Amino acid sequence: MFQSLIGRLFTNEKTGRQHSLGELECAVLEQVWSQNEVTVNDVIAHIDRQLAYTTIMTTLDRLYRKGLLGRHKKGRAFVYNAACSKQEVQRGIARDLVNGISIDPLHSKRYLLSFLIESVDSKDAAILSKLEAEIREKRKQLQREDGE
């Protein structure tokens, strides 16, 4: 299950509203991400719990209203699909976390970023290389923006 999302706040880019995700919402999102399109019955068939049809239907509807799912009608039922990827949701949560810390006068982005760097260990060497490349690209982007 996608435990890191549970209880985390994320901002819906379209509405600007903040939402959090519950354990069942995360489990249902996992099903949608793995199957691309689902109906209520698809989720019931693949989820590792015994839940009522109406419980899954309500959960899918909540995720749709939060902007995480799209849907279209097929016969009498809705077919749901992901409106964003796992990575986009993770990125949004991380962005909201960083922005929230940056607003707090007792903290700063520098403090947060230095802590993240300190937390890297030998297993994460490849991540550091990728981040270095992303930092170089971001610097180039900022220089281009400053030059315009």
Domain range summary for the chain, segments of one domain joined by +: 3-86
- pLDDT class of 1 with cuts at 50, 70, 90: very low
pLDDT of the residue at 33: 94
Model confidence over 18-53: pLDDT tens digits?
A: 777 888 998 999 999 999 999 999 999 998 889 999
Which top CATH class is 3-86?
mainly alpha
Model confidence over 8-22: pLDDT tens digits?
A: 666 666 667 777 788
pLDDT at 4 over 60: no
Phi, psi of 70 (to 5 degrees): -105, 165
> What value does the mean pLDDT of the chain take?
83
pLDDT of the residue at 64: 93
- pLDDT class of 129 with cuts at 50, 70, 90: confident
pLDDT at 56 over 60: yes
Phi, psi of 108 (to 5 degrees): -150, 165
Record the pTM: 0.67
pLDDT of the residue at 106: 59
Model confidence over 72-113: pLDDT tens digits?
A: 999 999 999 999 888 888 887 777 777 776 666 656 677 777
